[in-house]
């Protein structure tokens, strides 16, 4: 990929439980720019109601490893140290950029830092929940995971929240509509800015 792609990369991170998936779904419905979501690939199992190819490309650990070694991923990491891998396929991003789309990556902080190295002009947004108590309430309330998994996610979430200032924009999701508006405004405000050239 080159710096001459017409599209832009938007990165949204934030701890699980910050509600970023919900917020992003709303932003995608009413985006002020031609925004498309990069569908990540993961080895974790689908949650109820998740659809293969829409929420994630769900694949086996063996297949993931094969693709990782083949260099198919723009970035990939084992998230939470639980043995589950997540990655952004280069082909997902390329396809959108070549079409002049703004490709949004919903990825964790390690992945974001890797992508920023390759795309320094990426628009980076960190979504956090109101506070730690609110985060814990949401993660437990989801009821889709064991206590152990929730504890692991909480630990990872606190660690991620400490890194929010590495992002160009921070959005607090204590009200979905307001968070959606804020992200739409961020995107609009980047419409007229020229993409920085790589140094
Ligand atoms: P979940 O399992 O709740 O869908 O996602 C868990 C974490 O993995 C979230 O923080 C999410 O942002 C991150 N994640 C999802 N897809 C990717 C990806 O492609 N790469 C990286 N590095 N993280 C991802």
Q: How many angstroms separate the alpha carbon of residue 189 from the centre of ligand 1?
A: 26
Q: How many angstroms separate the alpha carbon of residue 58 from the centre of ligand 1?
A: 12
Is residue 112 within 8 Å of 87, Cβ to Cβ?
A: no
Task: Identify whether 138 is part of a domain.
Answer: yes
Task: Identify whether 196 is part of a domain.
Answer: no
Task: Identify whether 106 is part of a domain.
Answer: yes
Q: What is the DSSP letter of 43?
A: S
Distance separating alpha carbons of residues 186 and 34, to the nearest angstrom = 14
Is residue 4 within 8 Å of 98, Cβ to Cβ?
A: no
CA angle 172, 176, 178 (to 5 degrees): 70
Q: What is the DSSP letter of 108?
A: -
Task: Identify whether 1 is part of a domain.
Answer: no
Task: Identify whether 103 is part of a domain.
Answer: yes
| Minimum mean pLDDT range among 13-17, 70-74, 105-109, 184-188 | 13-17
- pLDDT the model gives residue 197: 45
More confidently predicted of 172 and 192: 172
- pLDDT the model gives residue 198: 43
Work out how many domains the chain is built from and give that number: 1
Count of positions (residues) in the chain: 199
Q: What is the pLDDT of residues 73-102, one digit of tens each?
A: 999 999 766 689 999 999 999 999 999 999
Task: Identify whether 15 is part of a domain.
Answer: yes
Q: How many angstroms separate the alpha carbon of residue 107 from the centre of ligand 1?
A: 5
Q: What is the pTM of this model?
A: 0.89
pLDDT-derived band at 153, boundaries 50, 70, 90: confident
Task: Identify whether 159 is part of a domain.
Answer: yes
- pLDDT the model gives residue 140: 82
Our answer on whether the CB atom of 111 is closer than 6 Å to any ligand 1 atom is yes
Q: What is the pLDDT of residues 4-48, one digit of tens each?
A: 447 999 999 998 778 899 999 999 999 999 999 999 999 999 999
Among protein residues, the one whose CA lies closest to atom 24 of ligand 1: 107
Q: Is the pLDDT score of 152 beyond 70? A: yes
Q: CATH no. for residue 22?
A: 3.40.50.300
Q: Compute the chain's Rg from CA coordinates.
A: 16
- pLDDT the model gives residue 81: 62
Among protein residues, the one whose CA lies closest to atom 2 of ligand 1: 44
Task: Identify whether 12 is part of a domain.
Answer: yes
For ligand 1, mutation pick of 58, 91, 108 (most atoms within 8 Å of CB): 108
- pLDDT the model gives residue 78: 92
Residue range(s) defining the domain that contains residue 173:
8-191
The average confidence (pLDDT) of the chain is 89
């Amino acid at each position: 990929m080159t710096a001459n792609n017409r599209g832009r990369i938007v990165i949204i991170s934030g701890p699980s439980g910050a509600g970023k998936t919900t917020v992003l779904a709303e932003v995608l419905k009413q985006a002020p720019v031609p925004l498309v979501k990069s569908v990540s690939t993961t080895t974790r199992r689908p949650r109820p109601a998740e659809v293969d190819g829409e929420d994630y490309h769900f694949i086996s650990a063996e297949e993931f490893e094969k693709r990782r070694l083949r260099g198919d991923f723009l970035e990939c990491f084992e998230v939470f140290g639980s043995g589950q891998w997540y990655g952004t396929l280069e082909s997902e991003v390329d396809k959108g950029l070549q079409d002049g789309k703004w490709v949004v990556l919903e990825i964790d902080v390690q992945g974001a830092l890797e992508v920023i190295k390759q795309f320094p002009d990426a628009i980076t947004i960190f979504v956090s929940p109101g506070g730690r108590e609110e985060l814990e309430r949401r993660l437990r309330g989801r009821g889709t995971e064991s206590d152990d998994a929730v504890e692991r996610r909480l630990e990872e979430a606190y660690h991620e929240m400490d890194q929010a200032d590495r992002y160009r924009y921070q959005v607090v999701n204590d009200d979905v509509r307001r968070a959606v508006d804020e992200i739409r405004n961020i995107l609009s405000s980047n419409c007229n800015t020229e993409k920085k050239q790589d140094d």
